[in-house]
Amino acid sequence: MAHALLRRDLAEGGWRRSRGIPRSALGAEGGAHRAHLPGGNAESRRRRGAVPSGNLAARPPGGRAGGAARNRRGARCLAPRAPVSANVRPHRSGGRRDAAAGIASARRRGAAHAAAGEGHGTRGAAGRSHAASGLAAAPFAQGVAVSAHGAPPSSARDAGASIARTLAQAGHVAYFAGGCVRDRLLGLEPKDFDVATDATPERIAEIFPSARGVGASFGVMLVRRGGHTIEVATFRRDGEYIDGRRPTRVHFGDAEQDARRRDFTINGLFEDPETGKVIDFVGGLEDIRGRVLRAIGSAEDRLAEDRLRMLRAVRFAARFSLAIEPGVERAILRHGSELMGVSRERIGGEIRRIFEHPSRGQGVDLIERLGLSTAVLCEPPVERNDDRVRRLPPDASFASSLAAWMLDRGAGGAAAGPGAGVVQVDAARLKIWVDALVLSNAESDALAETLRISRELHGSWRVSDRAQRKRHASRENFRSALDLLRTEDPALAEEIAAQVEALAVEGLAPSPLVTGDDLIALGLAPGPAFRTMLDSLYDRQLRGEFPTRESALAAARRLVGT
């Protein structure tokens, strides 16, 4: 078992047990990440416009959807799988055969897979017969606290339910929609609760006077309730897609039409906030039970509407341990090169979402197997020589994840197999990745530093003195580099971690006992010798030669000759 180290939790001001090293020694990981939002409702949050009326032409294509977002770590792992609740009964006997087991194997780090429910929808484009169902949405995974409505307790949920209740009291249909329903059925606590309704944007504005229209062409409103902002969208069906991203027109419709415009069956579910029942027009409940990622209707059509859905399929399959339905897989293999037509910002944003989760290894496997790596990275396909990404710790940084993937694909065009040490990555190749994923300056620097520090640790740690080790451990991207080193030389990484823990007791990066002002006061003029003397005195301090500031100043006087 990995040697446990103390890590400083700066936010809480205390010590906690973790796999990492003292947080105070590591510095910040890094700056705001240029995570860019996809189109549709997510992008519409950035736009402001008049409240729409009737059936509308969508906003003309063009422009780049982008926005800064922090790289999030420690995403919640899936709960252990549990039997389907007895409260959920199939509408009819039989049903589709169970799908193959999820593509991703059980995570090495022990994160278990979530359970799922079962249910049925209406006949889909593929000819599967379903009846729209309103099934009790009992919790399908163990270890998840639920409310009387069967959902994880959340004040955001309460806010969304309150808005839906107000709409219902005004004579409208209103449901929770999409990801929040999916996540709850998978045993996860949803982060956002979106509401879908038959109320038009004008009507929503009448019922909620403070509502703001943020997607004039998509009928999306933002409503504040209980300190939370809830996205409320009118049921709609989409017109023709011509740019591989968004429809030219949208038409307001009903719940079934709204469900059928979505990408995958697991995302096409609605939930009645009052009763906790799931409304399923597309067979999403059955696919959750079978752990299958299936397109709604024709996979070819759904992927053609927005090519980024190919990467979304990878993310959902990896994160939720789903098997990609053969029709979806064939469509991705056939059209993978068309991902090149998607903006680099959107591709980079989706890669961040894949890498922020412990299932990043499964995601990389799927990207490579489905032939998407060329479009994602803008470099020719290669034979991966290792699987470092899977060996990263669950909370690995974006920088260490990218670095591991880069090394798995060979560095500088040369293979770097297990045991070879972390090798040099040439600057030209690094720039290709930076441009392909639209990395920010902070992300680019973190990636380069992670590779550099990890290589230095592999080559020089054991011959470094006490001061050099403290300087190493106090570098900004040391933790990312140590995580990367663990994938290559775990024994050395554990040795370094144990030694850093011991060094941290006396402080890895204490304030200098002698400053530049002290040397100036002693009569030394700024210059090359000035910096050399400061560094020398600080190294001696790190080695423990100066128990007090007075002893350090005495040494400085001797060096200056005063």
**Is pLDDT above 50 for 14?**
no
**Is pLDDT above 80 for 43?**
no
Looking at residue 414, its pLDDT comes to: 39
Token reading at 555: 């040494």
More confident residue, 373 or 418: 373
Q: Tell me which of 23-27, 306-310, 519-523 is least confident.
A: 23-27
More confident residue, 104 or 344: 344
DSSP state string for 509-523? SPPPSS-HHHHHHTT
What topology does CATH give the domain 41-79+118-331?
Beta Polymerase; domain 2 (3.30.460)
**Is pLDDT above 70 for 243?**
no
Average confidence (pLDDT) over 292-297: 97
Specify the residue for token string 């996809």: 38
Looking at residue 298, its pLDDT comes to: 95
Whole-number Å distance between alpha carbons of 94 and 73: 42
Q: Per-residue pLDDT tens for 16-36?
A: 333 333 333 333 333 333 333
Looking at residue 562, its pLDDT comes to: 67
**Is pLDDT above 90 for 126?**
no
Q: Tell me which of 141-150, 293-302, 460-469, 518-527 is least confident.
A: 141-150
Q: Tell me which of 7-21, 56-70, 231-245, 448-462 is least confident.
A: 7-21
Max Cα-Cα span within the chain = 95
Whole-number Å distance between alpha carbons of 209 and 35: 32
**Is pLDDT above 90 for 118?**
no
Whole-number Å distance between alpha carbons of 536 and 491: 32
Whole-number Å distance between alpha carbons of 489 and 319: 27
Average confidence (pLDDT) over 539-562: 86
Residues of the chain with CATH 3.30.460.10: 41-79+118-331
More confident residue, 203 or 22: 203
More confident residue, 526 or 436: 436
More confident residue, 366 or 109: 366
**Is pLDDT above 60 for 521?**
yes
Number of residues in the chain? 562
Q: Tell me which of 60-69, 255-264, 417-426, 492-501 is least confident.
A: 60-69
- 123, 129, 134, 136 alpha-carbon torsion, rounded to 10°: -140
More confident residue, 19 or 281: 281
Looking at residue 411, its pLDDT comes to: 62
Whole-number Å distance between alpha carbons of 115 and 478: 37
Closest by CA to 480, choosing from 402, 541, 378, is 402
Q: Tell me which of 34-38, 258-262, 364-368, 438-442 is least confident.
A: 34-38
**Is pLDDT above 70 for 349?**
yes
Average pLDDT for the chain: 75
Element (H, E) at 501: helix 490-504
Q: What share of the chain is helix, strand, coil (3-state, %, to 5)?
A: 40, 10, 45
Q: Tell me which of 43-52, 361-370, 456-465 is least confident.
A: 43-52
**Is pLDDT above 90 for 248?**
no
Element (H, E) at 229: strand 228-234
**Is pLDDT above 60 for 96?**
no
Q: What is the 3-state secondary structure (H, E, C) of 117-157?
A: CCCCCCCCCCCCCCCCEEEECCCCECCCCCCCCCCCCCHHH
**Is pLDDT above 60 for 543?**
yes
Token reading at 340: 């090149």
Secondary structure (3-state) at 109? coil
Angle in degrees, CA 518, 524, 526, rounded to 5 = 95
Given pLDDT bands bounded at 50, 70 and 90, which one contains residue 424?
low
Looking at residue 249, its pLDDT comes to: 67
**Is pLDDT above 70 for 401?**
yes
Given pLDDT bands bounded at 50, 70 and 90, which one contains residue 452?
very high
**Is pLDDT above 70 for 261?**
yes
Looking at residue 31, its pLDDT comes to: 34
